[in-house]
Structure 1
Amino acid sequence: MERRRRSAAVVALVLLVATSGCMGFLSGPITFEANKATESQQALQQTNYEEENVSQSVIERKFSAAGQTKTVKVTNWVAQYHRTVSVPVLGEREAAVFVLFSTPKVTVAGQGPFNPVADYNNEELVQLVQQQYKGLKDVQQVGNYSATMLGKETDVGKFSAKATFKNGQSVDVYVHVTKVEHGDDYVVAVAVHPQNIDEQQKILRLLEGAQHATNSSSS
């Protein structure tokens, strides 16, 4: 996928749920921030992926209830990586993409999580990816496989799709999606690559090499 369109594939996996029950007893802004999830340098070297960008995605909304207005601010992190591969017809492109997205659980007064990502399965996650990346279509699940991310075994959904590049050329791709609960956050991983290359072993290594700090005793 083209570089400028890549971030849209995952940035919109965000939340915002605030209820009148939460707002009645809290003063000031309500803020939640995820810890950054990134890829290890060792895994990048072993897979020939390169870091493209690590940035915050900040969502801020105002909610009114019971005569009060509260500002809710949620900070997510998006880390993007790519590898140059051969794409049919198009030649060499940075078309193998790996993204880590961390988003806070969002709990208030011990209640929650209110982050809807908590309940999303792989099929729902890839639907959000498709909604945000308009060049991705005809998404169909083709399988599942197990992987280890952040020390946990996780089920990875594998989907076939068609990706349209800026020049209008359509390429068959695979999309891999998984999610892990870690500390006070959810970490979502998405990988996209042309179907003409076998990228699964590299994706397994990148999933294994994911890093995420946690301030919680649960992990």
Structure 2
Amino acid sequence: MRRRLFAVAGVLLLVSFAGCSMLSGPVTFSAKKATVGEQTLSETHYQEQSVNQSVITRNVSAAGQSKTVTVTNWIAQYDRAIDLGPLGSQRAAVFSVVATPQVDVLGKSFNPIGDYSRERIVMMLQSRYQSIDDVQHVGNYSTTMLGQNTTVGKFSAQAELVGGQSVDVYVHVTRVQVGDDYVLAVAVYPQRIDDTESQHVRTLIHGVEHADGDD
């Protein structure tokens, strides 16, 4: 059965939220920006591809009440070029960071990113691969992100590069809660460079930064 990346990572996205239910007026939730520090990018030879807000608006109804809820997430994407032999140089090593806020409205809790289809999330987080299928868990390891100990899941998968070339990849996924936000980190890279790239991923995870105030 075909499975995409976030079929496996879904448990990390479908989290329980806490907070105050809002009973009047429009409701807005905004995450604070999460990115990778410049020194870490220099050490790992990754470059910023984009740092953007993703705004989601939903109508939520319960107990005869209806609210319009607007949620603002931050999505930061980084990549670097690697030599894939006959396939040439490709920017196929990808690292993405998502910050998404806690949401609780009219007694209903939901995750704005968790509500997206798996396909849409994959396209949001990286544009170097058209698909990531046949995901298999290969192990876990511990590291730190934003000062917290976190477990990183590592998966093998079959991916298709933009352009149609097929390549075996590893996927790393982890998540921590920081204040009112959840911060998710996802890395994807060809298996042939695992010896070096697995260490780069650890460095990138450790180098994630989360804004202390509003931007």
TM-score normalised to structure 2 length: 0.77
> Does residue 58 of structure 1 match 2:66?
no
Distance 2:105 2:60 in 1: 15
Question: Any stretches of 5+ residues in structure 2 without a counterpart?
Answer: 1-8, 124-129
Secondary structure in structure 1 of the residue aligned to 2:25: coil
**Residues 62-113 of structure 1: per-residue CA shift (max 9 Å, x gap):** 133444431011111000000101124311011000000000012459x78x
Q: CA deviation at 1:140?
A: 0.4
> Does residue 34 of structure 1 match 2:31?
yes
Secondary structure in structure 1 of the residue aligned to 2:176: strand
Q: Counterpart of 1:190 in structure 2: which amino acid?
A: V
Identical-residue share of aligned pairs (%): 54
After TM superposition, the structure 1 = structure 2 runs for residues 80-95 of structure 1, keeping only pairs within 5 Å, are 80-95=77-92
> Does residue 202 of structure 1 match 2:177?
no
Aligned to 2:45: 48
CA gap of 1:131–1:42, structure 2 versus 1, over 3 A, is closer
Distance 2:76 2:121 in 1: 20
CA gap of 1:194–1:130, structure 2 versus 1, over 3 A, is farther
> Does residue 211 of structure 1 match 2:181?
no
CA gap of 1:161–1:88, structure 2 versus 1, over 3 A, is farther
CA gap of 1:130–1:177, structure 2 versus 1, over 3 A, is farther
Verify the 8 A CA contact 2:103 2:111 in the aligned structure 1: no
Verify the 8 A CA contact 1:63 1:72 in the aligned structure 2: yes
Aligned to 1:96: 93
Aligned residues: CA RMSD: 3.2
Secondary structure in structure 2 of the residue aligned to 1:35: coil
Q: How many residues align?
A: 190
Verify the 8 A CA contact 2:51 2:76 in the aligned structure 1: yes
Question: Any stretches of 5+ residues in structure 1 without a counterpart?
Answer: 1-9, 121-126
Q: Counterpart of 1:178 in structure 2: which amino acid?
A: T
Q: Counterpart of 1:165 in structure 2: which amino acid?
A: L
Verify the 8 A CA contact 1:183 1:214 in the aligned structure 2: no
After TM superposition, the structure 1 = structure 2 runs for residues 157-196 of structure 1, keeping only pairs within 5 Å, are 157-196=153-192
1:145 to 141, 150, 164: 141
Aligned to 1:7: none
TM-score normalised to structure 1 length: 0.76
Distance 2:63 2:211 in 1: 37
Distance 2:120 2:141 in 1: 21
Distance 1:186 1:49 in 2: 23
Q: CA deviation at 1:168?
A: 2.1
Aligned to 1:78: 75
Verify the 8 A CA contact 1:184 1:214 in the aligned structure 2: no
